[in-house]
Amino acid sequence: MKLFIATTLTAVNLMASSLIQDATNAGLIPIPESKSELLKLIDNPKNPITEKKVQLGKKLFFDPRLSKSGLISCNTCHNLAEGGDDGVSAATGHKWIANPHHLNSPTVYNAVFASSQFWDGRDLDLEKQAQGPIQASPEMAATKEHVVKTVTSMPEYVKDFKKAYGKNVNINFVKITDTIATYERTLVTPSRYDDFLNGCPSALTKLEKKGMKTFIDKGCATCHNGVALGGSMQGFALVAPYKHANLGDFKGDANGLVKTPTLRNITHTAPYFHNGGIWDLKEAIIEMGRIQLGVKINKTEATEIETFLKALDGRKGHVILPMLPASTATTPKPNLN
């Protein structure tokens, strides 16, 4: 009996090792187990992560007073209690205005691993990205001056900035958005998929491993690879037209390239595609095979891939809401116009 068990375990481990090698060859990279190795991936030497900056950035991320209306925070469109997005087809912001291009809010979870930000990849890091939505009229609709005046009007925020950056800190718009980005860099969600690639054969079930093999064999990893399982700029609808191409007017960057969304926590981030045109995950898988890979993914294969993708649901932990500073007489008043 002991020999049988040992032989079975050896066979299972060999199969797992073969699948891990296939994954490695396909460019799949796990989130490191080591905190020091992870820090190398998520840190920005120009904006180093420190605990004080992270805690301050968290407050700012959740503070709706940075918006013109006083109602919209970063967390409004990137809800950390859900999938790090807003769960609607088109991002909706100031005055209940939907994104004019019908663009869907990408998840903020694991965004640090992407090589570019926004669907058109126009910003390369989270620091630059954080500046955009705050100022965009259909989003938070604020000005740089409003944001700075809001933050500096509250003594507690001023005190926090001095603790994080030193007593001579210049609290300007870039410093504020850099601090938000510092917090966003820590929003990493390792999953059982990462445990498997990091050497734990039992982390995935037999069906999840089968789905992972199908995912690789069908060519999904051609674009969904790296630590982000996406995040790079790729051509879109390469071999056939996307069936919801007319939902909005987004056509990609100047070269027609579109940022590949991460597959991490994919079961929490419907609807799918840049314009939120598809709500069902299996339908999205089949559509991608048709328009991107030029292959027919049948329902059985789509179910296998979906089973694997569910293993990408990460460990988010509990997010405790920060207690925000009290407004003062000089804090800008909400403006709904």
Of 151, 180, 248, the C-alpha closest to 44 is 180
In whole angstroms, give the CA distance from residue 135 to residue 152.
18
Evaluated on CA atoms 48, 53, 58, 64, the torsion sign reads negative
Structural contact between residues 102 and 245, judged by C-beta atoms closer than 8 angstroms: no
Structural contact between residues 224 and 233, judged by C-beta atoms closer than 8 angstroms: no
Structural contact between residues 56 and 241, judged by C-beta atoms closer than 8 angstroms: no
For residue 37, what are the CA distances in angstroms to 34, 40, 228? 5, 5, 15
Q: Is 311 left (phi over 0), alpha (psi -120 to 50) or beta?
A: alpha
| Residues recognised as catalytic | 139
For residue 160, what are the CA distances in angstroms to 66, 257, 305? 16, 41, 46
In whole angstroms, give the CA distance from residue 331 to residue 19.
57
How buried is 108 (Cβ within 10 angstroms: 0-12 exposed, 13-18 middle, 19+ buried)?
buried
In whole angstroms, give the CA distance from residue 293 to residue 239.
7
Structural contact between residues 232 and 222, judged by C-beta atoms closer than 8 angstroms: no
